[in-house]
Amino acid sequence: MVADTMKIRRAGLEALFPGEDDGAAAVPLWTLSGDRTPEVLPDLTPTQRAWLDATGWKPEAGAVALLPDADGALAGAVLGLGNAGGDPLLAGALARALPAGRYRFAGDLDDPELAAVAWALGAYEFSRYKSGEPRAPRALVLPDGVDRAAVLRIAEGVALGRDLINTPANDLGPAELEAAARDLAEAHGAAVAVTEGEALLAESFPMIHAVGRASDRPPRLIDIAWGEAGAPKLTLVGKGICFDTGGLNLKPAQAMSLMKKDMGGAAAVLALALMIMDGRLPVRLRVLIPAADNNVSANAFRPGDVLASRKGIAVEIGNTDAEGRLVLADALALADEEAPETLVTMATLTGAARVALGPDLPPLYVDDDALAGEIQAAGDRVGDPVWRMPFWAPYDKLLKARTGDVNHISSGPFAGSVTAALFLKRFVGAAARYVHLDIYGWVPQAKPGRPEGGEPQAARALYELFRSTYTA
């Protein structure tokens, strides 16, 4: 079933970008910045300019105007870019606004590949549970010089991440997340190992087991390995909590309603892994996903419990609704044992991150100033922004425990995202560089290239960095 979904997803994306085509039969598309007027577009007819004037259209960011020919048929369209330095994904608005057909960009683009990626991201729909025929494709003849395979791998990675996050928890538990990971690995010749249920205790992953043991869907650690043994080690760890009730510290109904997305970190690392493997980057890639449900049952872990961890740190539980950092800690300890060059965690970890930076801007934690700048610049280039936050050492005292070595949440209401990052950092020591991203994993209000729903935030930003860092 999952393998079939992969084929359908790929076929749908390929339909957006037809093969070799001179574009002669395609409808032209123009872009217009906010400080220009339609008169700078020489291919527009006087009638079309009059149409724009009569309709009061302005080249605001993401605004699309459809242009008729003399017979009333569609002759072209104009996309408003707004002011300079705007959203790099504005071309995604076209894929939603245009009728079915074949299109081409007329004139020069600042970044033709990114425009094509934005087109694909804007065309995305999650229609698994909807009846009726799927939306007919809006096909784009790729601009000259754009690598179709490069566009497709980024679009496919994002679509995979979105599909996983958007799937409700009744159809996406730990076993289904494992199946998706296995199919991705098989498609790219990667190896997979899974530690499940009681075996987590035998293999020294006690916190993953503790978080997931209250569910009738056994927890597990998914471990994917790909690439040459001697290549630079790049390890991705993604939080895979398939549904989070909050455990015994039960969430209120409003906070629980969107908790199918609490595996957004796992979706993001799988999206990034697809891009890396399909792009054949010369790295030794490892992907670790601790997958579990955080449920309520007689054997659920409790506030005040002290849990053993793989690293040997005794963790005191302050609140069972902060379970993500527990499963990540065991996976991080495993990842750190082989001292990767770069170790990345991606997780829908804290509400405090949303309070600080909102849903669109994930906090980035990294001690390496140069690397932080490179990640932030890469995200800005491709419209997948992040914002650096500090591993602020003085706040480590907020994790002081009464009984164990460390409490996994802070003792007060302040700096929740920072203290979560500091907790995770305790489980990393050998990795040369550690990067943590506290993502939201969801778009609450649609924007160009970002439909409402699941979003594997920071996956494109990291791929943009890694494909320039690691070259064959």
Active site residues per annotation: 251, 325
Which residues have a Cβ under 8 Å from the Cβ of 308 and sit 6 or more positions away? 206, 207, 314, 315
What is the distance of C-alpha 11 from the center of its chain? 21
Per DSSP, the residues of 165-187 read HHS-TTT-SHHHHHHHHHHHHHH
Per DSSP, the residues of 227-269 read S-TTSPEEEEEE-EEEEE--TTSPPPHHHHTTGGGGGHHHHHH
- Rounded to the nearest 10 degrees, how much is the dihedral formed by the CA atoms of 106, 110, 112, 114? -130
For residues 178-204, one letter each, b for 16 or more C-beta atoms within 10 angstroms of the residue's C-beta and e for the rest, the string is: bebbbbbbeebebebebbbeeebeebb
User: Which amino acid, one-letter code, is at 230?
Assistant: G
Residue for token digits 């498609």?
Answer: 187
Strands (E), 295-383: 306-307, 315-316, 342-347, 363-366
Say if residues 420 and 328 touch (Cβ distance below 8 Å): no
Cα 354–356–360 angle (5° rounding)? Answer: 50
